Amino acid sequence: MTCVHLLLTLVFAVSLGTPVEIQGPRGVPLTKKQFYVENKPFTCLDGSRTIPFDRVNDDYCDCKDGSDEPGTAACPNGSFHCTNAGYRTMFIPSSRINDGICDCCDTTDEYNSGAKCENTCKELGRKEREVLQKMTEITKEGFLLKQHLIEEAKKGHQEKQIKVTDMQENKKQLDEKVEVLRTVKETAEQPEKEAKERHLKAWEEQKAAIRLEKDKAKMAEAFLELDDNADGFVSVSELQSHAELDADADGTLTETEAQGLMGGAEQVDMSTFESVWPNIKDKYHSEVSREEADMSCLVSSEVPFGPHRWLVQLPSEAFYRYVTEKYSCTSYVSSSCSLFPYANPTVLWFTAAQKARDDFEEAEKALREMDDQIRNIEKELSFDFGPDAEFTYLYSQCYELTTGEYIYRLCPFNRVSQKPKYGGSETNLGTWGSWSGPENNKYLLMKYEHGTGCWQGPNRSTTVKLTCGKETVVTSTSEPSRCEYLMEFTTPAVCQEPANTDLSPHDHVEL
Amino acid sequence: MAVISIERMGLLSVFCVCLFFNSAFAVDRGNFKTCDQSSFCKRQRVLKPGQSPYRALLETLELSDSRLTLQLINDNNKVHLLLELYRLQGNMTRVKINELKPLKPRFEVPDVLIAEPPTEPLSVLSKDDNGIVLSLGAESQRLIVSARPFRLDIMEGPEVLLSLNSRGLLAFEHLHLRKDTQAQSDGAEVKESVDGDQQQDEGEKDEDGQSDKEEDGLWEETFKSHTDTKPNGPTSISLDFSLPGVEHVYGIPEHADDLKLKTTDGGDPYRLYNLDVFQYELYNPMALYGSIPVMLAHNTQRTMGIFWLNAAETWVDISSNTAGKTVFGKMLDFVQGSSEKPQTDIRWISESGIIDVFIMLGPKPSDVFSQYASLTGTQSFPPLASLGYHQCRWNYNDQEDVKSVDQGFDQHDIPYDFIWLDIEHADGKRYFTWDPHKFSQPKEMLQGLMDKRRKMVAIVDPHIKVDSGYKIHSEITSKDFYVKNKDGRNYEGWCWPGNSGYPDFTIPEMRAWWASMFAYDQYEGSMENLFTWNDMNEPSVFNGPEVTMHKDALHGKWEHREIHNIYGLYVQMATAEGQIQRSGGVERPFVLTRAFFAGSQRFGAVWTGDNAAEWGHLKISIPMCLSLGLVGVSFCGADIGGFFKNPSTELLVRWYQTGAYQPFFRAHAHLDTTRREPWLFGPENTALIREVIRQRYALLPYWYQLFFQAYRTGMPVMRPLWVDYPKDTATFTIDDEFLIGSDLLVHPVTEEGSRGVTAYLPGAGEVWYDVHTFQKHNGAQNLYIPVTLSSIPVFQRGGSIIPRKDRVRRSSACMENDPYTLYVALSPKKFAEGKLYIDDGHSFNYDAKKEFIHRSLTFANNALTSSNLCPDCNFLTSSWIEKVIILGASKPSKVVLKMDGKETPVDFEFDSSMSVLTLRKPGMNAGDDWTLLLQ
């Protein structure tokens, strides 16, 4: 069944009826008139049987192919031909004959239904010619624009290719430079590393010394605290007052236990206390609560001092900042967090290494940037911009359409998105997928896929339908199926070379 | 449509709605009560069969001509009940039990019965201390009232047909004051209805009555976060029925379950409580959108019905003494002669109201249908177009979309009659309005459809957006027509528009006002080809208990608890009335509803709610609609393709093939599904769907005549086989095939990848003709039918005549004047009969002015005759008889048309391989008297 009745719904306009000349049986096109000869037996067009001519259009279906009833609705598979003088001829399914609905603009399909049809062919023909004319003009101009686009694209393409070649040449040099600088850097870093290790070791030693010092001070303090009667000796009973030193955790420090801690002695003096102190220092609670020194930051396991990889990697200034901020030391070189300054030659090594590093990194960065640029251009060159690269100009452009609620944005070969007009976040309606037009011209549709997921549904996707136009513009958007968007987009890039169309009303489209 | 789209709702609703989505594509059972979670069901079910505490006080018997009253006393608590017995015309008995002196009136359901049922005289045959024997008039039927314990037995001859309270499960929680307000607390009160298992003593101990609440949910109960305050306390009722000799019971829709009801021992009873169940599960007794408390019992000898007229939450228990037995076990019983008689026991439990039961005694299936129809009315006679194909989707986005779908049908040459608009068409879900951007010119759109002789349905749901700028809301508010909450303020709940009010459709004035809103000058943008769909009328309340209204909400003086199951019926009633009124009473309405109750058949069509694109859902559509048909609702269908999820192409095609042979033929799809208009699946599938829709249209004359018959007699249009073959036990459980009328048998293909189906063709000595090939098959056999994707196994009964209109057009209206082809399928005795009904297809003139043609077509003695079944009817048609196809014929030497005393020869063709005789263009008007003679 042919579907030539697409424009039917336009049937509304008023026009004076033109007389319809019926030649031969009703509903037969000119090309088939020869098969219907008045008063001669009729053979079904599929050859299946022959019937008397009075059974043609007698409102009973005799032929399997429906050919005996071109002018009635009797056959389920018949078709009716309207001449539609002034407009285009067409076939309609014979089920539309006398169904009360005007299908043919020349009214010939409703000859016995009582439907009041008016002949609208002239009006339709005029409108169609106007539309065609307009379309032709647009196509013509669009096609010219397209030629220009193709030129531009060609030029651009060549330029880019040249550029890529140049860049690849440059890149080679950069590659070499980076390698040289890497060696320089590694050489410069060697003495730096050694110096750091040395320095670190020295610092560790100093730290141990400080710790020892502090322990001694604490011990002296404890001795004085314990020595309640200030006789210069700590006695068993004096020790007993510190129940926390209880070894068996029964809550009391017995005399025997205390004696045990004191190494069997009844009392000890300051120097003997040195041997007692290790036994009690872990448990000992000072009576005076003392501020914890900034030492805490050193004790903490997180402290990035010592042989920590950050030490070598972080630029020194950043390292200072890191330490001071993270560990709340008042300053990096505070009394308790003191890390003594590097000796002068060491600092020089550092400076040399740092410079080598900076140079290397700079070169590497330049190389990376170059790589990116090359990749971008190659990516662009790899896109399918149409048979003549006519779609190239759309690359890295974006086109917007504002509707009642949303602003839609199409960035060809990149993505489609939707943003509420009055605030709210953007929704991705799909990223570039592929050309997906029909086989004979895939460049009529673009598919954007894998957008933001829909609740209980698929990921959003958008089909962009391209039509010929002078302007490059998004003309409409819709969501025919949930989360599947359709965007109409005009561009000169799809304009075809206008054929020499003959717009005379008698140019049939006969199938 | 129940699913809630998070993206489209306010935050609050998102919160409450999220609870639904714990598991994808399966009901969240936790949202709905089990019997154990419904305190009265739990209380009642604790009571086991045994000696009834009720005694009939025979000395209180009063008998007027047709009404017998008698007091019953509960010996445990001394509360008196009043029993009323009526013999109703048409072989029915009505049993009513209420409290003799209730504290305040108990609710009796109005508006379901079409009239006070006419009675027949009752007479006392004998009476002694043990009981009374009453004559039920014809057929030696007697009703025996036993006094101690109280029970009723209906007998015919020596056979007990049915017994009431024979298991002692009559229970009546009488109204009483709460203990904290009643000094003389009576411990027997609860015991009265529920047995000693209940810890009644604790209730007595606890002076403030808290234990009532905590232990039993008597005065308050909580489900999930919802508390039901129960100011009237416990009010439930229960009664048992025993059916000796019965093994098959049917009905009590709506459940997604087999046609034959299962026993409920060890599980939950079948529940009747109209609920918006999100993604319902198959094969279980959970409540769904509608409730019809009617059960049919059938055996080879008799069909009976029980109609339990109660609109409160109801549970139905079924048990059977043969249920556990295998076929072999039953045979063994039979051989050994040791079998007890099979028996099915039923128990009805309702939360409140009174016991009001109609016992329909058949004896034939058709008798039960007419008995039930005499009580609640018949299927409304729909406009012819509504029997065509309906194209629906949530949502057609805008007028442009509607137009392009409409054009799609023409481009692909597929007929359809109605295109539907779901909730998005309205302005912010304010029903009776149109979205100003998407549907700014509704009349232009409707006119476009009218020009194609097509129609539209737009949804109007009963939840009304609370918005002072919305006319419907402000008028309902000013007229004080909203349902109230327990504190007397307007009840508000969440639904599609957000915060919504619910009109109190139980108020007649409210319904009249609602109806007036459909007038063309009230419903702006409406036209005569716009019809209505009532969804969400359970009512659905997203943030309510079990997604519905709180039971303690108030409809005037009655709690929602009392009327819940009838709310949806009222919505459709008022809407249909509005459509009738807008045309000055001339045009028939078309209204689709999701919720329903007994009597809903009078107001339009129902569908099986929000199903899913799964093969199981396709399959279940058959028993679901069959069950509805058995209890009056013939105009039933399921969403073609499945509402939720995307169907495979095969499933979609199979669903069209099934749906085309079910009464209400509508495709529908959820918002989140991909588009599925019939032409979106490639040319081959488009052709398959086109073909089946065309088959539907060709058969419209038959469907229409069946609906006329359903309207007149209550006979279901789509029927289980046993309705027409009541003595053939092989048919009793069949629910994968069905009959349309008596003459078409359909066995849809409902299995994925199916290569063949086995159809049972009933009727020993009968024949069936394949409607596609005309091949003849014998009845009483299982026939294996190889199938391809294009196959739809359909058979025409030998002995029938089916008129078709084989010229399929764009819409049913376009086919109005088209000629008929008569398909005459001869029985082995070369006999056939059928009917032809014709009217204008849309007005009430068939009723008001008798403007219709009703003809009997009979083939006997080699003559096909059309005779007038309604001589005083008056209607003219342009339709004529273009063809007669006689199946199972022998070759005549000539064929003559006898008409008006004249004889004219008729051309014919004979296909000897299939024995098909085709008469060419006899040409008589379809309304004329004529005879075609085969000589």
For residue B472, CA distances in Å to B510, B524, B658 come to 12, 12, 40
Instruction: Mark yes or no for CB contact B413/A93 under 8 Å.
Output: yes
Q: What ipTM, to 2 d.p.?
A: 0.89
Q: Name which of A390, A424, A389, A429 is nearest A411 in CA terms.
A: A429
Nearest CB neighbour to A74, from listed B6, B448, B807: B807
Q: Which residues of A touch B7 (CB under 8 A)?
A: 455
Same fold, B45-173+232-376 and B819-934: yes
- Coil, helix or strand at residue A189: helix
Alpha-carbon distance of B302 to B361, in angstroms, equals 8
Chain B residues touching residue A488 (CB < 8 angstroms): none
In the chain, the amino acid numbered A372 is: D
Stretch B294-318: mean pLDDT: 98
- CB contacts of A479 in chain B (<8 Å) are 397
Question: Quick check: A64 contacting B, CB < 8 Å?
Answer: no
Strands, E assignment, A312-469: 399-402, 406-411, 415-420, 427-435, 445-449, 461-468
Q: What pLDDT is attached to residue A340?
A: 54
Cα–Cα dist A209/A369, whole Å: 51
- Token look-up 């204008």 returns B840
B residues 438-457 lying closer than 8 A (beta carbon) to A: 448, 451-453
Give residues with Cβ within 8 angstroms of B915, minimum separation 6: B776, B887, B888, B889, B890
User: Which of A48, A90, A94, A95 to mutate to test binding with chain B, by most B CBs within 10 Å of its CB?
Assistant: A95
Asked if the C-beta of B672 comes within 8 angstroms of chain A's C-beta atoms, the answer is yes
| pLDDT of res. B4 | 47
**Catalytically active residues of B, by annotation:** 535, 610
Q: What is the pTM of this model?
A: 0.82
- Does A404 contact B at CB distance below 8 Å? yes
CATH T-level fold of B45-173+232-376: Immunoglobulin-like (2.60.40)
- The pLDDT tens digits along chain A (511 residues) read 333 343 333 333 333 344 444 467 999 999 999 999 999 999 999 999 999 999 999 999 999 999 999 999 999 999 999 999 999 999 999 999 999 999 999 999 999 999 999 999 999 999 999 999 999 999 999 999 999 999 999 999 899 899 989 988 888 988 998 888 888 888 888 877 887 888 788 888 888 888 888 888 888 888 888 888 888 888 888 878 777 777 676 767 788 777 877 877 788 888 888 888 887 887 777 665 444 444 433 433 333 343 333 334 434 554 445 444 444 443 344 344 445 555 566 666 777 788 888 888 998 898 899 899 899 888 888 889 999 999 999 998 999 999 878 999 999 999 999 999 888 899 999 999 999 999 999 999 999 999 998 876 779 999 999 999 999 999 999 888 888 899 999 999 999 988 765 555 444 443 3
The Cα B502–Cα A101 span in angstroms is 43
- CATH tag, A392-491: 2.70.130.10
Considering only the beta carbons, identify the residue of B674, B808, B815 that sits closest to A481: B674
Q: Tell me whether residues B882 and A74 touch, CB distance under 8 A.
A: yes
pLDDT of B773 over the 60 cut:
yes
- Residue A331: per-residue pLDDT: 39
Q: Where are the domains of chain A?
A: 392-491
Residues in B 370-409 with any Cβ partner in A closer than 8 A: 397, 400-401, 403, 407
**A482 contacts in chain B (CB < 8 Å):** 671-674
- Does residue A350 contact residue A195 with C-beta atoms inside 8 Å? yes
Is there a contact between A95 and B807 if contact means CB atoms under 8 Å apart?
yes
A6 contacts chain B (CB < 8 A): yes
Contact between B81 and B172 under an 8 Å Cβ cutoff? The reply is yes
Cα of B165 to nearest chain A Cα, Å: 51
A11 touches B: beta carbon within 8 Å:
no
- Chain A residues whose beta carbon lies within 8 Å of the beta carbon of residue B694: 76
Bridging pattern class, strands B389-391 and B665-667? parallel
Q: Is B817 part of the contact surface with chain A (CB cutoff 8 Å)?
A: yes
- Lowest pLDDT segment from A278-282, B301-305, B410-414, B867-871: A278-282
Q: Does the beta carbon of B733 lie under 8 angstroms from any beta carbon of chain A?
A: no
Per-residue pLDDT at B655 exceeds 80: yes
Chain A neighbors of B807, CB-CB under 8 A: 73-74, 76, 95
Residue A118, min C-alpha distance to chain B (Å) = 14
Q: How far is A330 from chain B (nearest CA, A)?
A: 49
- Nearest chain A Cα distance for residue B675, angstroms: 5
Which pLDDT value is given to residue A345? 62
- Minimum-distance CB partner of A482 among B451, B673, B816: B673
Going by C-alpha positions, the residue among B834, B836, B806 that lies closest to residue B818 is B806
Q: Where are the domains of chain B?
A: 45-173+232-376, 460-606, 819-934
How far apart are alpha carbons B745 and B748 in whole angstroms?
Answer: 10
| CATH topology (fold) of B819-934 | Immunoglobulin-like (2.60.40)
Give how far A2 is from chain B: nearest CA, Å. Answer: 9
Nearest to B397 among A455, A456, A479 (CB): A479
State the helix-helix crossing angle for B649-659 and B682-698, rounded to 10 degrees.
Answer: 10
**Touching check for A10 and chain B: CB below 8 Å?**
no
Tell me which chain B residues have a C-beta less than 8 angstroms from the C-beta of A58: 921
User: What would the pLDDT profile of B588-612 be if each residue is shown by its tens digit?
Assistant: 999 999 999 999 999 999 999 999 9
Q: Is A511 on the interface with B (CB under 8 A)?
A: no
Pick the CATH number of B460-606 from 1.10.150.120, 3.30.565.10, 3.40.50.300, 3.20.20.80: 3.20.20.80
Asked if A113 has any chain B CB less than 8 Å from its own CB, the reply is yes
**Residue A46 backbone zone (phi > 0: left; psi -120 to 50: alpha; other: beta):** alpha
Rg (CA), chain A: 47
Positions of E strands within A109-263:
233-235
Q: Which residue of B has its CA nearest to A479?
A: B397
Q: Where are the beta strands (DSSP E) in B805-926?
A: 820-825, 832-838, 853-860, 863-868, 881-887, 895-899, 902-911, 916-920
For residue B484, give the DSSP letter: B
Specify the DSSP class assigned to residue B390. Answer: E
- Residues 6 or more apart from A380 whose CB is under 8 A from it? A160, A395
Structure tokens that stand for B422 in this block: 């779901």
pLDDT value of position B33: 96
Band (pLDDT 50/70/90 cuts) for residue B787 is: very high
Q: Does A14 touch chain B (CB under 8 A)?
A: no
CA-to-CA distance for B599 and B379, rounded, in angstroms? 9
Classify the C-alpha dihedral B419-B422-B428-B431 as positive or negative.
Answer: positive
User: Exposure string (b/e) for A280-301, b if CB count within 10 Å is 16 or more?
Assistant: beeebeeeeeeeeebeebbeee
In B, minimum Cα distance to A62 occurs at B920
Q: Is B436 on the interface with A (CB under 8 A)?
A: no
CA torsion, ordered A180, A182, A186, A187, to nearest 10 deg: 10
For residues B750, B751, B756 and B761, what is the CA-based torsion angle, rounded to 10 degrees?
-40
Of B817, B775, B814, which is closest to residue B795 (Cα–Cα)?
Answer: B775
Contact A478 B7 (CB under 8 A): no
Could you say which DSSP state residue B212 is in? I
DSSP single-letter state for residue A94: G
User: Taking the CB of residue A148, how many other CB atoms lie within 10 A of it?
Assistant: 13
Chain A closest-CA separation from residue B624 CA (Å): 27
Do B437 and A404 count as a contact with CB atoms less than 8 A apart?
Answer: yes
Q: Residue A478: closest CA among chain B residues belongs to which residue?
A: B397
